């Protein structure tokens, strides 16, 4: 527990502005950052709003997990998600898609899959051990 608090303080001290992840920070394993998942029911209040309007990428129950999983690509992903359309419900999933990034959330399992366009196609990440579909499969 002391390690988690120390890591959080160090990351906060290194952070620039409102970013949740310091540049060049070494991210702790997902098991450390997600020990106690946030209340993902808060995401319901973000449905029918864009990530830019709702704060989905900056201040939501998924922020820490997305930042930890994407590591150094997290700032680029967050910026790309600011151009995404509204978060919509598709069955048990919540989906936001933009021209260069997408995010599929599975609140029931505290899991997600994220995609970011790169020069050669799409790079994807997901919560370790989860089976969250990509938007093309929905």
Question: What residues does 119 pair with on adjacent strands?
Answer: none
Q: What is the pTM of this model?
A: 0.73
Exposure string of 122-132, with b = 16+ CB inside 10 Å and e = fewer, is eeebbbeeeeb
User: How confident is the model over 76-125, as pLDDT tens digits?
Assistant: 999 999 999 999 999 999 999 999 999 999 999 999 999 999 888 999 99
User: How confident is the model over 39-51, as pLDDT tens digits?
Assistant: 888 899 999 999 9
CA 112/CA 117 separation, integer angstroms: 17
Find, among 136, 87, 131, the residue nearest to 113 by Cα: 131
């Amino acid at each position: 527990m002391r390690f988690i608090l120390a890591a959080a303080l160090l990351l906060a001290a290194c952070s620039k502005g409102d970013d949740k992840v310091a540049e060049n920070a070494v991210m702790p394993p997902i098991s450390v950052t997600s020990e106690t998942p946030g209340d993902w029911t808060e995401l319901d209040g973000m449905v029918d709003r864009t990530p830019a309007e709702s704060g989905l990428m900056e201040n939501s129950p998924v922020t820490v997990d997305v930042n930890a999983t994407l590591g150094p690509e997290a700032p680029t992903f967050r910026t790309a998600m600011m151009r995404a359309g509204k978060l919509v419900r598709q069955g048990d999933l919540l989906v936001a898609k933009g021209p260069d990034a997408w995010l599929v959330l599975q609140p029931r399992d505290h899991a997600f899959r994220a995609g970011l366009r790169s020069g050669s196609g799409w790079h994807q990440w997901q919560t370790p051990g989860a089976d969250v579909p990509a938007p093309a499969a929905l």
